[in-house]
Amino acid sequence: MIHIDNLVKRYGTLVALDHLSLDIHEGEIFGLLGPNGSGKTTAINCLLALLKYDKGTITIFGKEMRPDSYDIKQNIGVVMQNVAVFDQMSVWENIDYFCGLYVKDKERRRELVEEAIRFTGLEDFKKMRPKKLSGGLLRRLNIACGIVHKPKLIIMDEPTVAVDPQSRNRILEGILELNQQGSTIIYTSHYMEEVEQICSRIAIIDHGQVLATGTTEELKKMIKTGETITIEAIALDEDQLAQIRKLPHVFDISYEEQTLKVRLSSAKHNLVRILNYMQEHDIAFGRVFSELPTLNDVFLEITGKELRD
Amino acid sequence: MLFLFKYRFLQTIREFSIMFWALGFPIILGTLFYFSFGTSIEAAGETEWDEIKTAVVTEDSSSENAKSFEIFLENMDGELLEITRVSSGDEALKLLNEDKVTGIYYVKEAPSLTVGKNGLDESILTSALDSFNQNSAMVRDVLSEHPDRLPAVLASYGDYRQSVREETLGGKTLNPNVQYFFALIAYACLSGVFLGVRASFDTQANLTALGARRSVTPTHRFKLVIVDMLVLVTIHFADILILNLYVTQILKISLGDDIFSLLVVDLMGSIIGVCMGLAFGSISKMDLGMKMGFSVGLTLFPGFLSGLMFGNMKNIIELHCPLINRINPAAVLSDAFYCLGIYNDMERFRRCILILAFMSILLLFSAFLGVRRDSYDSI
């Protein structure tokens, strides 16, 4: 559905997109994951032909995307990172206005607006002005304005920034529902849990480059970490830590604030081996957790750093 | 199109701060003008008249002409003149030197006038005497054959208030305060800049999220700009009409009797104000706060040059650099109002309207150039 090839965007000497290439297929929820400033929004703006780029090509629905590609734009819905609504118009008027930029038929528009209001749970706020809405409701209005015309492709640029957990869950559920209704979705975020929860395929980008692409499971398989074991231990000396580091499949450990974190490659009986060592050496320990790798681990291993907020 | 018009209209009229600058502020300014100038503000042609203090010395009233002149002066006493009769020329000159009278009429076979300075009142006294001399033969005939009709005859050519007012139509109205109201309405027209600048933000993807959202829709950008312009001109035209009604009906300042032409100049004023705002908003790369700040200057400075703060400014510029008055939209608008309210010069009026139309087209074209860029270097 979307093919981005070798995209380069420079701001003076700063390279915002560095030969970025992506393929997004119909029916996917495609996650663009990266820290702030990694190039996600720049890529989206290039994709929407809002931003000029220095090199590369972008095709959507098999056609080159240009600023005057109105036939392509007809089938795209955009949920901007910043809320983009008119403060002087009510919730209903805003949704109706943005719907009207795509749909001319008045009756059809009315149906679509009502549907979008139901979908985003804004029934009780139709007549309210945006300034009277909470942050979560405002984000929902922003989404309603972007998806009201039932586009084939929806681009959501960090739609859950500064949203309370309840609204966030509702938004995420809504995105899954839109996807089930047939829309392809591009979802950018720096919240890994969200991306992991809803995206069928993910691209990790940093410094304007795609570092890895795949499903969550595929990405997790790309890294060494198969399991992370966390143990509350009161006192561990350097010798003990060195011995734990030498245990089979352990490739990284850290010990901070009486918490031992051991990262191991995927193997059977990892936890048993570590606990046996603790007992054999009479090391007192408290709670024990074992976690499978997360996208955070993937990001950490691929980029060598935590995902910045 | 109608749909877009409706929502843009609603959105604009609900933006209180912008509507305040476009309508509220000029009304407040007009009210302040009115109260500052007090009761002296009346429309041209309805100005309060101060009688001219005049001394009359009768040197020889035996001749028919002198008698006629005596009757002529009596007829004007209490109307145009406030006559003080003195017995001698010396006494009259003393009054003149002490500025207690403006001039001295000498009643004799060939009536004469002495004035101390040059000025409007002195011109009126001269004009009155000239008028009497030109018509003295007729006055004598009436006096001899129909003495009862003499006051009516004298009144028919003695309305110097009217004649003097017409003589001042070259730009010096009797009441200069009216100029402020012409400049005020011109300024109000230019306040459309605020509407235009604000609206331009919603079309530029590099400035606002709304601009970006509107830019990614399948609605052509030119269509959005045209709708914006039509909405803003409609709203601003209504603003100016409200201001006109306020000035003419509440403050009782006459803007002339030619309503159709007045509507034309109001419309052209609204168009040029909005187009200036759209052009400035689209071309410049400043943020909203900066643009709004500059918009204040963009309205007030031309207003200043057209006489908003100093009534005679336009005349000073006309003397020293008339080109500025031709290209300053506030001055051209003010001039158009003068043509309607004072000069009654339709040729000059048409020239003003043509200049405004030409400037509007140029500005609108500039606005299109500003927003025509399809994508941006940075957002």
Q: A49 and B375 in contact by Cβ < 8 A?
A: yes
**Residue pLDDT, tens place only, A213-234:** 999 888 888 887 778 889 888 7
Mean per-residue pLDDT for B23-45?
72
In a domain, A174, yes or no: yes
Q: What's the whole-number average pLDDT of chain A?
A: 88
Q: What is the CATH number of the domain that holds A245?
A: 3.30.70.100
Q: Are B33 and B181 in contact (CB under 8 A)?
A: yes
pLDDT, residue B169, reads: 40
Mean per-residue pLDDT for B254-258?
77
Q: Cβ of A299 under 8 Å from any chain B Cβ?
A: no
Decide the pairing of beta strands A225-233 and B81-86: unpaired
**What phi and psi values does residue A184 have, to the nearest 5 degrees?**
-90, 140
pLDDT band, very low/low/confident/very high, at B47 (cuts 50, 70, 90): very low
Q: A146 and B213 in contact by Cβ < 8 A?
A: yes
Q: Are A123 and A117 in contact (CB under 8 A)?
A: yes
pLDDT, residue A93, reads: 95
Domain identity same for A167 and A181: yes
Which is more confidently placed, B246 or B155?
A: B246
B49, pLDDT greater than 70: no
Q: DSSP labels for B329-366? A: HHHHHHHHHHIIIII--HHHHHHHHHHHHHHHHHHHHH
CA A44 to chain centre: 13
Taking contacts as CB-CB distances below 8 angstroms, the residues of chain B near A81 are 209
Shortest Cα distance from A7 to chain B (angstroms)?
Answer: 15
pLDDT, residue B205, reads: 80
At CA B49, angle to CA B45 and CA B52, rounded to 5? 135
Q: Cβ of B222 under 8 Å from any chain A Cβ?
A: no
Q: Cβ of A98 under 8 Å from any chain B Cβ?
A: yes
Q: What share of chain A is helix, strand, coil (3-state, %, to 5)?
A: 35, 30, 35
pLDDT, residue B171, reads: 43
- Nearest beta carbon to residue A52 from set B10, B15, B376: B376
Mean per-residue pLDDT for A10-32?
91
Q: DSSP labels for A152-172? A: SEEEEESTTTT--HHHHHHHH
Domain identity same for A156 and A243: no
Q: A86 and B210 in contact by Cβ < 8 A?
A: yes
The 8-class DSSP code of residue B147 comes to G
What is the interface pTM, i.e. ipTM, of the complex? 0.78
Task: Tell me which residue range forms the domain holding A139.
Answer: 2-220
Q: B209 and A86 in contact by Cβ < 8 A?
A: no
Domain identity same for A111 and A172: yes
Q: What is the pTM of this model?
A: 0.70
Question: Which of B6, B13, B219, B375 best probes binding to A when mutated, by most A CB atoms within 10 angstroms?
Answer: B375
Domain identity same for A168 and A267: no
Report the residue of chain B nearest A49, measured CA to CA.
Answer: B375
- Nearest beta carbon to residue B376 from set A51, A81, A83: A51
Q: How many domains is chain A partitioned into structurally?
A: 2
Shortest Cα distance from A255 to chain B (angstroms)?
Answer: 44
**Residue at a domain's end among A179, A198, A220:** A220
Q: What's the whole-number average pLDDT of chain B?
A: 80
A3, pLDDT greater than 90: yes
Taking contacts as CB-CB distances below 8 angstroms, the residues of chain A near B215 are 50
Shortest Cα distance from B3 to chain A (angstroms)?
Answer: 7
In a domain, A215, yes or no: yes
Mean per-residue pLDDT for A72-92?
91
Q: A70 and B218 in contact by Cβ < 8 A?
A: yes
Domain identity same for A7 and A145: yes
Q: Percent of chain B, pLDDT > 70?
A: 81
C-alpha to C-alpha distance for A77 and A146, rounded to whole angstroms: 5
**Residue pLDDT, tens place only, A248-264:** 888 888 888 889 888 88
In a domain, A36, yes or no: yes
In a domain, A165, yes or no: yes
Question: Which of B9, B198, B207, B217 best probes binding to A when mutated, by most A CB atoms within 10 angstroms?
Answer: B217
Chains A, B: CB pairs < 8 Å: 83
- Residue B139, classed as helix, strand or coil, is helix
Q: Cβ of A83 under 8 Å from any chain B Cβ?
A: yes
Q: A84 and B210 in contact by Cβ < 8 A?
A: yes
B165, pLDDT greater than 50: no
**What number of H helices and E strands is found in chain B?**
18, 4
pLDDT band, very low/low/confident/very high, at B162 (cuts 50, 70, 90): very low
Taking contacts as CB-CB distances below 8 angstroms, the residues of chain A near B375 are 49-52, 67
Q: What is the CATH number of the domain that holds A77?
A: 3.40.50.300
Domain identity same for A18 and A152: yes
Residues of chain B with CATH 3.40.1710: 52-170
Domain identity same for A145 and A241: no
- Nearest beta carbon to residue B212 from set A80, A93, A145: A80
Domain identity same for A41 and A103: yes
**Residue at a domain's end among A220, A244, A271:** A220
In a domain, A297, yes or no: no
Weakest-pLDDT range from A82-91, A163-172, B118-127, B267-276: B118-127
Mean per-residue pLDDT for A227-245?
86
pLDDT, residue B364, reads: 84
Mean per-residue pLDDT for B101-128?
83
Mean per-residue pLDDT for B18-33?
84
Classify residue B340 as left (phi > 0), alpha (psi -120 to 50) or beta: alpha
pLDDT, residue A154, reads: 92
pLDDT band, very low/low/confident/very high, at A141 (cuts 50, 70, 90): very high
pLDDT band, very low/low/confident/very high, at B283 (cuts 50, 70, 90): confident
Give the Å distances, CA to CA, from B118 to B54, B114, B115, B354: 15, 11, 8, 39
**Residue at a domain's end among A220, A241, A256:** A220
Q: Are B193 and B276 in contact (CB under 8 A)?
A: yes
Q: A88 and B15 in contact by Cβ < 8 A?
A: yes
B154, pLDDT greater than 80: no
Domain identity same for A258 and A210: no
Q: Which CATH architecture has domain B52-170?
A: 3-Layer(aba) Sandwich (3.40)
**Residue pLDDT, tens place only, B318-345:** 778 888 888 888 888 888 887 877 767 7
pLDDT, residue B41, reads: 53
Q: Cβ of A254 under 8 Å from any chain B Cβ?
A: no
Highest mean pLDDT among A164-178, B156-170, B351-365: B351-365
pLDDT, residue B152, reads: 65
B189, pLDDT greater than 50: yes
Taking contacts as CB-CB distances below 8 angstroms, the residues of chain B near A83 are 209
Domain identity same for A209 and A230: no
Domain identity same for A206 and A229: no
Q: B213 and A11 in contact by Cβ < 8 A?
A: no
Q: A76 and B216 in contact by Cβ < 8 A?
A: yes
pLDDT, residue A95, reads: 95
Q: Are B268 and B357 in contact (CB under 8 A)?
A: yes
- Nearest beta carbon to residue B209 from set A71, A76, A84: A84
Q: Percent of chain B, pLDDT > 90?
A: 9
Q: Cβ of B320 under 8 Å from any chain A Cβ?
A: no
Domain identity same for A201 and A229: no
